[in-house]
Amino acid sequence: MVPPNLSHRSTDDLKQEILKLGEGNDRAPLSQKVKFYQSTLAPLFAELSQRNPFSSAEEQVAIVLGVWLPVWSTIPFIEILPGRVREQSYQIFQDNGYYANIARYAPGQRNSFLQAFSAFLLAYDFMLLQKFVVQNGQWYIQNVGIEQAFRWRGSLLTSERAESWLSKVVRSKLSKGDAPKAPDLSSLDKSTAKKVGTSFLATPQLEHLYIDRDFRLVKSQRNQQRPSYTIAIRQQ
């Protein structure tokens, strides 16, 4: 249970408590994470939202630029594919208005037998490319593309490599003037491809409940789906 009297706790103390709770719950099934938010995290999120140092969406743009690590999230899209490597998952905002969720997926990564051969196995790197703009105090997000790559697991998807991949994709789109289009998901099985395709067509809404230069609490929602929540810390 979360202590009821949160107003007397320092902001740093609340942030550390949220990080500790989130890290301990991130591998739980989505349904359990939703219940965990409702029963444990919601009061902490609510208290920090009252202390948001950058409550204006226009102010938040300069603060959010860079690479962030999602510590914990209830966004269903993140777990559509099996085997997400949490240490190689990133949210990257660029000053050209592009934003990406990038993650490596390596099914069987926790299997002790497969770990012995991990350097020789393939991983699936996935990028959801989006554009963002802030108008009238609101964040507006548009899905513009999905990028995929198979790479050797032995070559880690570091934040630098993820950012370089994003920059390369953005340069290509800017030079070609590519308009958003349905992604090619032929490398996925039919069930997963359908889920990814449906999520891609949704229109996300985003709100920073709390943001400073190193820590974010984000509320997001796709169409009429239930809200999702994310805890993120700055990588660089």
Dig out the tokens for 190 from the structure: 């039919």
Is residue 35 domain-resident? no
Is residue 154 packed enough to be buried (19+ CB in 10 Å), middle (13-18) or exposed (0-12)? exposed
Q: What is the pLDDT of residue 26?
A: 93
Rounded distance between C-alpha atoms, residue 187 and residue 149, angstroms: 10
- Number of structural domains in the chain: 1
pLDDT band for 191, please (50, 70, 90 cuts). low
From the CB of residue 100, how many other CB atoms can be counted at a distance below 10 Å? 23
| 191 part of a folded domain | yes
pLDDT tens-digit series, residues 84-123: 999 999 999 999 999 999 999 987 655 443 344 455 588 9
Residue 201 in any domain: the answer is yes
CB 164 within 8 A of CB 102: no
Q: Residue 183 has what pLDDT?
A: 59
**DSSP reduced 3-state for 158:** coil
Is residue 206 in a domain? yes
Report the C-alpha gap between 152 and 117 in whole angstroms: 11
Residue 186: what pLDDT? Answer: 64
Domain extent, residue 147, equals 56-234
51 within domain boundaries = no
Does residue 28 fall inside a structural domain?
no
In whole angstroms, give the CA distance from residue 182 to residue 198. Answer: 10
**Is 25 among the domain residues?**
no
- Cα 169 from Cα 163, distance rounded (Å): 10
Q: What are the pLDDT digits (tens) for 9-44?
A: 999 999 999 999 999 999 999 999 999 999 999 999
Q: What is the DSSP secondary-structure string of 171-216? A: HHHHHHTPPP-----TTS-HHHHHHHHHHHHS-EEEEEEEE-SSEE
Q: What is the CATH number of the domain that holds 173?
A: 2.40.128
Considering the domain boundaries, does residue 118 fall inside one? yes
Please determine, for residue 75, whether its predicted confidence score (pLDDT) is greater than 80. Answer: yes
> Tell me: the pLDDT tens digits for 124-160?
999 999 999 999 999 999 888 889 999 988 899 999 9
